[in-house]
């Protein structure tokens, strides 16, 4: 069960990039791999982009920048751009964008500024200038500064649904206009732009390779929509807004889900940063089935908040942290949490409610839901228990955990003994004996969330449930299902 709790380490240190006097001109919409700014700060999905920022994408990485006028810049591996000018009036949808690409490859999907006045979106490279006429194009800049430009729209591949557009490519030596889909030109610092030609398959592959870094399995349309809607929705972030939506809808657990490697890639980090070195070792020792199930854990509103606004993980909550609060309650709620089979067969959903009463120094928990293992009929169950944390050692990690049986025919529950402890008998939890064994736990974490006045202590929790059945010989587990929600923010009273 402790491996389930470790996913919260995803909430690492997130920092805002600049002070309040700087002008925000957009957001980072997607990070694959490692992306930094000019101050060597790591950028994550949802981070603001400021006027004058340089966005640096490292090898085997990728990013998207969404500007306020809905212009989208997709940066390929080993790319670098600066936003040298950005003026936008949302009332008139007029303005000007000047972007400088110094290396790598960038695909540009023009937004509202270009729709109204195409000449007001300008992209510069070391070799010259690209002026747009409301369209979609990609450019590559090599190590010597030589540039290649590909017009993608208009036509079926114009993802913006715009009227036919074009790009003008020019430098001091001359200019050309690309005005048909997949028209291509190249030019250098001391070279006039070549007459437009239809791009060859080999050249097209070069453009596509820049934007394909480490993204296998991560770029379904539903993933992109989930990320964009979750990160940039103006409404309050709640429940499964980002992570849960991606994992349960866009990535579809029935198809096997993602590995931690893929999730780390999607979020622009590494597995070790995601889990911590020790937990990574433990995770790698799990069976492939368990790895998939653990990787596809569901994320709650606290995790969504941190992904959107940033925050700093201050570590696991201790007994002393909660003992220092003398009044009020925190209630953490996880509704309809999916449970997936990590061994054998089984499935289910459960809801968990955990209430901390600081005056009484107790934690009340209720786990309820519907589940089945080993092909049995599904049963409804409910189990409650209370943890007294008043006498715990101040420096010891706090959790609220208990073990119970579930009758596989009618869902009746009763407290039982921890697996492996004295008096525990696995023979009580075989198909013949008629009971499942359940391990329930709520873990608490201290996270200081950017822009929030709430105290960091216990600001998020993970609610987890593991249910298993032993084989007929009672020697090992035969059917196991797991479920959890990570990063649940409390209701405070």
Structural domain boundaries of the chain? Answer: 62-210, 221-492
* β-bridge mates for residue 380, sequence order: 370
* pLDDT for 426: 96
* pLDDT for 245: 44
* pLDDT for 451: 67
pLDDT digit of tens for each residue in the chain (493 aa)? 333 333 333 332 222 223 334 788 888 877 777 889 999 998 877 788 898 899 999 887 888 888 888 888 888 888 999 988 888 888 888 888 999 999 998 888 877 887 777 778 889 999 999 988 666 788 899 888 899 988 876 544 434 344 456 888 999 999 999 887 778 899 998 899 999 888 877 777 777 776 654 444 344 444 444 444 433 333 333 333 334 444 444 344 444 455 666 665 555 456 665 555 665 676 677 666 666 666 655 666 776 566 555 667 788 899 999 999 999 999 999 888 888 888 899 999 999 999 999 999 999 999 999 999 999 999 999 999 999 999 999 999 998 999 999 999 999 999 999 998 999 999 999 999 999 999 999 999 888 877 677 899 999 898 999 999 999 999 999 999 888 887 888 989 9
Are 43 and 37 in contact by the 8 Å Cβ rule? The answer is yes
Gyration radius of the chain over CA positions: 27
* pLDDT for 297: 59
**What CATH number belongs to 62-210?**
2.60.120.1440
277-284 helix and 288-295 helix, angle to the nearest 10 degrees: 130
pTM over 0.75: no
The number of angstroms, rounded, from the C-alpha of 271 to the middle of its chain's C-alpha atoms is 13
Question: How far is residue 396's CA from residue 268's CA, in Å, rounded to a whole number?
Answer: 32
């Amino acid at each position: 069960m402790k491996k389930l709790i470790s996913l919260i380490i995803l909430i690492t240190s997130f920092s805002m990039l600049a002070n309040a006097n700087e002008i925000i001109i957009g957001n980072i919409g997607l990070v694959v791999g490692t992306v930094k700014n000019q101050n060597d700060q790591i950028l994550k999905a949802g981070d603001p982009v400021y006027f004058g920022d340089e966005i640096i994408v490292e090898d085997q990485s990728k990013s998207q920048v969404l500007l306020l006028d809905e212009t989208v810049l997709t940066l390929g591996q080993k790319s670098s751009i600066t936003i040298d000018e950005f003026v936008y009036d949302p009332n008139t949808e007029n303005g000007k964008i000047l972007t400088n690409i110094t290396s790598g490859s960038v695909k540009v999907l023009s937004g509202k500024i270009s729709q109204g006045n195409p000449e007001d979106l300008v992209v510069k490279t070391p070799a010259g200038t690209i002026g747009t006429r409301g369209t979609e194009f990609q450019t590559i800049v090599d190590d010597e500064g030589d540039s290649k430009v590909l017009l993608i729209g208009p036509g079926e591949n114009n993802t913006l649904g715009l009227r036919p557009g074009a790009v003008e490519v020019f430098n001091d030596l001359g200019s050309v206009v690309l005005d048909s889909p997949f028209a291509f030109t190249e030019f250098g610092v001391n070279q006039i732009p070549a007459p437009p030609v239809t791009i060859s398959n080999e050249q097209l592959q070069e453009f596509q390779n820049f934007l394909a870094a480490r993204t296998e399995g991560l770029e379904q349309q539903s993933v992109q929509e989930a990320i964009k809607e979750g990160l940039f929705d103006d409404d309050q972030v709640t429940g499964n807004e980002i992570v849960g939506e991606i994992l349960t809808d866009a990535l579809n657990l029935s198809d096997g889900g993602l590995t931690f490697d893929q999730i780390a890639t999607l979020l622009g980090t590494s597995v070790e940063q995601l889990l911590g070195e020790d937990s990574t070792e433990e995770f790698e020792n799990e069976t492939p089935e368990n790895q998939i199930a653990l990787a596809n854990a569901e994320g709650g509103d606290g995790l969504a908040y941190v992904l959107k606004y940033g925050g700093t993980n201050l570590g696991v909550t201790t007994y002393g942290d909660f003992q220092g609060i003398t009044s009020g309650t925190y209630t953490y709620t996880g509704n309809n949490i999916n449970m997936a089979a990590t061994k054998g067969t089984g499935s289910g959903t459960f809801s968990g409610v955990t209430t901390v009463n600081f005056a009484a120094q107790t934690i009340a928990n209720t786990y309820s839901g519907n589940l089945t293992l080993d092909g049995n009929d599904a049963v409804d169950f409910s189990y409650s228990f209370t943890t007294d944390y008043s006498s715990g050692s101040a420096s010891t990690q706090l959790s609220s955990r208990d073990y119970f049986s579930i009758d596989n025919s009618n869902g009746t529950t009763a407290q039982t003994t921890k697996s492996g402890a004295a008096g525990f008998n696995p023979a009580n939890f075989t198909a013949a004996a008629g009971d499942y064994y359940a391990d329930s736990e709520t873990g608490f974490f201290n996270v200081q969330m950017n822009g929030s006045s709430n105290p960091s202590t216990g600001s998020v929790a993970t609610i987890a449930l593991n249910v298993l059945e032993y084989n007929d010989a009672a020697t090992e587990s035969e059917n196991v299902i797991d479920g959890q929600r990570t990063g649940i923010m409390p209701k405070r009273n």
